[in-house]
Amino acid sequence: MLFSRRLMLGLAMAGSLASALAVPALAEGPTEIDLFFPVPVDGKLARDMGTLIKEFNEGHPNIKATAVYTGSYDDTLIKTRAAIKAGKPPAAVIMSANFLLDMQIENELTNLDSLIAADGTTKEKFLGQFFPALQGNAVIDRSVYGVPFHNSTPLLYINADKAKEAGLDPSKPPQTWAELTDWAKKLTKREGDKVTQWGIAIPCAYDYCGWMMETLTMSNGGRYYNEEFGGEVYYDTPSMLGALTWWNDLVAKHKVHPPGATPGPAVSTSFISGNAAMMMLSTGSLTYVRDNAKFAYKVAFIPRNVRNAVPIGGASLIVPAGQQADKQNAAWTLIKWMTSPEKSGWWSRATGYFAPNMAAYKTSDMVEFLNKNPDAKTAVEQLDVAKPWFATYKTVPVRKTLEDEVMLVLNGKKQPKEALAAAQKAADETLKPYNAETSLKLP
Amino acid sequence: MSLAEPAALPVAASAPARLHIVTRFSHRFKTSLPAYLLLLPSLVFLALFTYGAMGRVLVDALYQRATPKAPVRFVGLDNIAAVLADSAFTGAVVNNLVYAVGTAIPSIGLALLFALALSRTNAVNSALRAALFLPVLIPMVAASALFLFIFLPNVGLLDYYIGSLLPVLPNWLGDSDIALYAIMVITIWKNAGYYMLFFLAGLQAVPEDVMEAAHLDGAGPYQRLRHIIMPELKPTFLFVTVIAILNAVTQVDHVFVMTKGGPSNATNLVLFYIYQQAVEHYDIGKASAATLLTLAALMGLTALSFRTMANREDGP
């Protein structure tokens, strides 16, 4: 009896302690909001984010924002979805720009139009701050669902020392696929059958591989997907066939590109160590290359076969659905602050991504930075020919159907034509339920 | 005894008997109440995080939505049928079988070898044991990150040392023919030291006098191993095999870090397939169905191994 009474007492104490902890949360005070943020590139970013949020909180006493690190882009999507399901969505999330459409289809995003209107501005004016190339991934059905935060495009990185060694002029980088093939041949070194230095390396791992396929397809005149409608991809097309065939030729025919599928970090390590003389990689790796390359390097536009065109990458700020009004407003204040010219520029210099807000490039800090690092300017200039990142219903599985087939081709197990036909078939299958509800739902 | 008595007796006897049962039950309940109360916290958490989750998986496996905006509806066994018809799932099962056999046999073999070599306790052996056990202490994710560098094509540690011996440098993790074996190497490296501990413990149980007798009878090292040590180690073998197979199904951290199941699903294992269905495809129904199938297979395996173990204890 004594025992159970003591237990009851313990339980009662635990209960009162729990309620004591819960009370302060209900009390009046600054609006507390969470910001989920991923770190897609190495190390230092988490600390930079802490600095940024601390500065925000000091300037906004009625809001208390907390930055919550949520892993990679994919992990951030998982955690955001889990939080929405649990009924406790974060107030704002830095979300991979090509997940927005899928989330909107699943009713997981807040339409930002009313928040923009409440500020007394128009959608056009609001979006007008950002580079036009970024708007495609932020606007769905003519409504704004995301605010571009940090973005990238693919670049051609050239080891200038090796180019000079091979008798090539790094100040005139290759502009077409023909020139690039020629450069890659000249930059490949062999000992018998063994290659000691590769001419070029292009990454292919899940996520990166789809982005590189979109890059090559676009420079071959094509489109990866239907930009206006999330139910179609264009895998089995001449432009993508040309892109994949050329990539495969670099591997199998010219033997200037390492065989198999190589992830992004392996490609950048290979370039830094001098094992690959050129690589195609995101502008997001620019800071890493700048800090680690022990040789002169040069960055250039992605060469064209038909036209100059590249996809954007990176992330946007979103407000998940199901948020209370006061937190929504606080999140909106935070988002506007983070994407303002000064903060946008600061983040760009810290990370290597370019700043989506065009006015950031007019700030004095940024002008000075670009004068010191002209390579960062190339990324911004390429934005003129940039287009949206592929985004469909179930973006990741639809992308994976292509990537699995591309990997088979790069491993010499399939021919490009049959691989793309198989990828198209599998992607159509994944997109079927969405089409059944939209394009094939007839009166 | 008169005839009237028995008629009266049951009435008289039954009431106290029933009372007796009730009091006994309540008494038993009273005495075990503290025990139940003590168990309550664990039971609550088990229910919440283990059985509750399993129940939820069971329910989720029966529901599916036809189109993105449609509400979920009851579909019975359709999800299970869809999983079984998915070539990615059957591919993952095949990969997992290859992976289980290919990691269990070498790691157990190595573990036995290490244990036999290091069974005598002295300073050198203790140091070697510690060295062999070290991989167990490294978290799988950290180990995978290390091996990412070791396996880097052309510039990695592996190619640096053996590159000159090979005619062509392989893309260890990027070649669909090699990747699964590269992943298996890590598992073996990581688990052999762990299984060694079980064999070391098992070797302690080999009776000293029997070994001495065999020695006096002129049994050589091989004969002692074959006829004395191995039979004594049989329960250890069984136990370690079960652990190794369970590990092969439940440890996919390195797949997650190193290959994400690629290239072209070559390293996709069942647990990673479930993750893909739940997270990438956002298809909870199919993910739950695949989880149920895996759970059933694992439970069957565990039940089988426990029965064999129980049988062994009765037998010779």
Q: What is the pLDDT of residue B17?
A: 62
Q: Residue A304: count other Cβ atoms within 10 Å of its Cβ.
A: 18
Return the bridge partners of A139, or none.
A144
Whose CA is closest to A155, among A130, A173, A129?
Answer: A173
Residue with tokens 């432009």: A239
Chain A residues in contact with B279 by the CB 8 A cut-off are: 74, 77-78
- Do A137 and A166 lie in one domain? The reply is no
Q: Residue B208: count other Cβ atoms within 10 Å of its Cβ.
A: 8
Q: How far is CA B51 from the centre of its chain?
A: 18
Q: What is the pLDDT of residue B18?
A: 65
Q: Would you place residue A380 in the very low, low, confident or very high pLDDT band (cuts 50, 70, 90)?
A: confident
Mean predicted confidence (pLDDT) in A75-85: 89
Q: Does B21 touch chain A (CB under 8 A)?
A: no
- Do A192 and A270 lie in one domain? The reply is yes
Domain boundary among A371, A387, A403: A387
A8 located within any domain: no
Q: What is the pLDDT of residue A28?
A: 61
Mean predicted confidence (pLDDT) in A301-305: 96
Measured between CB atoms, which of B153, B167, B282 is closest to A193?
B167
Residue A91 near residue A323, CB atoms below 8 Å? yes
Chain B residues in contact with A205 by the CB 8 A cut-off are: 260, 262
- Do A284 and A339 lie in one domain? The reply is no
The CATH number of residue A205's host domain is: 3.40.190.10
Provide the residue type at B10 as one letter.
P
- Do A299 and A238 lie in one domain? The reply is yes
A140 located within any domain: yes
Domain boundary among A368, A387, A406: A387
Q: Is the pLDDT of residue A43 over 70?
A: no
- DSSP label at residue A276: B
Question: How far, in Å, CA of B24 to CA of A126, rounded?
Answer: 78
Whose CA is closest to A236, among A434, A426, A430?
Answer: A426
Q: Does A182 touch chain B (CB under 8 A)?
A: no
Q: Does B86 touch chain A (CB under 8 A)?
A: no
Chain B residues in contact with A437 by the CB 8 A cut-off are: 67-70
More confident residue, A111 or A194: A111
Question: How far, in Å, CA of A153 to CA of A301, rounded?
Answer: 9
- Could you list the residue range(s) of the whole structural domain that residue A136 is in? 29-152+313-387
- Do A277 and A146 lie in one domain? The reply is no
More confident residue, B164 or A401: A401
Angle between helices A45-59 and A325-338 (to 10 degrees): 120
Q: Residue B146: count other Cβ atoms within 10 Å of its Cβ.
A: 13
- Do A178 and A56 lie in one domain? The reply is no
Question: How far, in Å, CA of A24 to CA of A6, rounded?
Answer: 28
Q: Does A404 touch chain B (CB under 8 A)?
A: yes
Measured between CB atoms, which of A396, A397, A413 is closest to B176?
A413
Whose CA is closest to A189, among A169, A172, A158, A166?
Answer: A166
Q: What is the CA radius of gyration of chain A?
A: 24
What ipTM was reported for this prediction?
0.81
Whose CA is closest to A303, among A377, A410, A220, A187?
Answer: A220
Domain boundary among A372, A387, A402: A387
Q: What is the pLDDT of residue B308?
A: 75
Q: Which two tokens stand for residue A297?
A: 């390097």
Interface of A with B in 33-92 (CB under 8 A): 74, 77-78, 81
Question: How far, in Å, CA of A91 to CA of A33, rounded?
Answer: 6
Whose CA is closest to A407, among A181, A199, A200, A206?
Answer: A206
Question: How far, in Å, CA of B270 to CA of A46, rounded?
Answer: 33
Measured between CB atoms, which of A105, A258, A260 is closest to B263?
A260
Distance from first CA to last CA of chain A, Å, rounded?
73
Mean predicted confidence (pLDDT) in A314-335: 93
**CB atoms A105 and B68 under 8 Å:** yes
More confident residue, A326 or A39: A326
DSSP of A32-101: EEEEEE---S-TTHHHHHHHHHHHHHHH-TTEEEEEEE--SHHHHHHHHHHHHHTT---SEEEEEGGGHH
Q: What is the pLDDT of residue B8?
A: 44
Question: How far, in Å, CA of A86 to CA of A81, rounded?
Answer: 9
Question: How far, in Å, CA of A399 to CA of A248, rounded?
Answer: 19
Whose CA is closest to A67, among A94, A86, A43, A44?
Answer: A94
Question: How far, in Å, CA of A34 to CA of A67, rounded?
Answer: 6
How far B70 CA sits from the closest chain A CA (Å)?
Answer: 9
The length of chain A in residues reads 443
Task: Give chain A's domain count.
Answer: 2
Q: Does B257 touch chain A (CB under 8 A)?
A: no
Residue B100 near residue B191, CB atoms below 8 Å? no
Question: How far, in Å, CA of A230 to CA of A242, rounded?
Answer: 24
Q: Which two tokens stand for residue B305?
A: 């191994």
- Do A321 and A304 lie in one domain? The reply is no
Mean pLDDT of chain A: 89
Residue B167: in which H helix or E strand, if any? none
Provide the residue type at A225 as one letter.
Y
Q: What is the pLDDT of residue A194?
A: 84
Measured between CB atoms, which of A4, A107, A258 is closest to B154?
A258
- Do A358 and A379 lie in one domain? The reply is yes
Q: Which two tokens stand for residue A299?
A: 């960055």
A272 located within any domain: yes
Question: How far, in Å, CA of A304 to CA of B28, rounded?
Answer: 84
Angle between helices A238-248 and A208-219 (to 10 degrees): 110
What distances in angstroms separate CA A45 from CA A38, A89, A94, A153, A155, one per listed residue? 9, 23, 13, 19, 21
Q: What is the pLDDT of residue B7?
A: 46
Question: How far, in Å, CA of A286 to CA of A309, rounded?
Answer: 20
What distances in angstroms separate CA A66 from CA A57, A92, A338, B139, B221, one per listed residue? 9, 10, 14, 29, 66
Q: Which two tokens stand for residue A158?
A: 């050239």
What distances in angstroms separate CA B152 from CA A144, A261, B9, one per listed residue? 42, 12, 89
Q: Residue A342: count other Cβ atoms within 10 Å of its Cβ.
A: 15
> Which distant-in-sequence residues (6+ apart) come within 8 Å of B58 by Cβ?
B288, B292
Question: How far, in Å, CA of B238 to CA of A252, rounded?
Answer: 48
Measured between CB atoms, which of B155, B173, B174 is closest to A273?
B155
Residue A348 near residue A360, CB atoms below 8 Å? yes
Out of A64-68, A178-182, B225-229, pick the least confident: B225-229
A233 located within any domain: yes
Residue with tokens 């930079």: A48
Q: Which two tokens stand for residue A137?
A: 């991934």
Q: Does A397 touch chain B (CB under 8 A)?
A: yes
- Do A355 and A265 lie in one domain? The reply is no
Q: Is the peptide bond prior to B41 cis by the omega test (within 30 degrees of 0)?
A: no
**CB atoms A397 and B260 under 8 Å:** no
Q: Would you place residue A22 in the very low, low, confident or very high pLDDT band (cuts 50, 70, 90)?
A: very low
Residue A190: closest C-alpha in chain B: B168
Q: What is the pLDDT of residue A409?
A: 96
A4 located within any domain: no
Provide the residue type at B266 as one letter.
A
Residue A259 near residue B171, CB atoms below 8 Å? yes
- Do A90 and A110 lie in one domain? The reply is yes
Q: What is the pLDDT of residue B13?
A: 46
- Do A225 and A237 lie in one domain? The reply is yes
Full pLDDT tens readout for chain B, 316 residues: 444 444 444 444 445 566 677 777 777 778 888 888 999 999 999 998 888 888 999 999 999 887 777 788 898 899 999 999 999 999 999 999 999 999 999 999 999 999 999 988 889 999 999 999 999 999 999 999 899 889 988 788 888 888 778 777 888 898 989 999 999 999 999 999 999 999 999 998 888 888 888 888 888 888 888 888 888 898 899 889 989 998 999 889 999 888 988 899 999 999 999 999 988 888 889 999 999 999 999 888 888 877 777 766 544 3
What distances in angstroms separate CA A84 from CA A78, A87, A244, A324, B227, one per listed residue? 10, 5, 39, 12, 62
Give the rounded percent of residues in chain A with a pLDDT score beyond 90. Answer: 73
Q: Does B282 touch chain A (CB under 8 A)?
A: yes
Question: How far, in Å, CA of B270 to CA of B95, rounded?
Answer: 8
Q: Residue B290: count other Cβ atoms within 10 Å of its Cβ.
A: 30
Question: How far, in Å, CA of B170 to CA of A237, rounded?
Answer: 32
Mean predicted confidence (pLDDT) in A207-230: 94
Q: What is the pLDDT of residue B224?
A: 86
A21 located within any domain: no
Measured between CB atoms, which of A198, A270, A393 is closest to B68?
A393
A2 located within any domain: no
Q: What is the pLDDT of residue A129?
A: 93
Q: Is the pLDDT of residue A378 over 90?
A: no
A20 located within any domain: no
- Do A289 and A366 lie in one domain? The reply is no
Chain A residues in contact with B280 by the CB 8 A cut-off are: 74, 394, 396-397, 400
Q: What is the pLDDT of residue B25?
A: 76
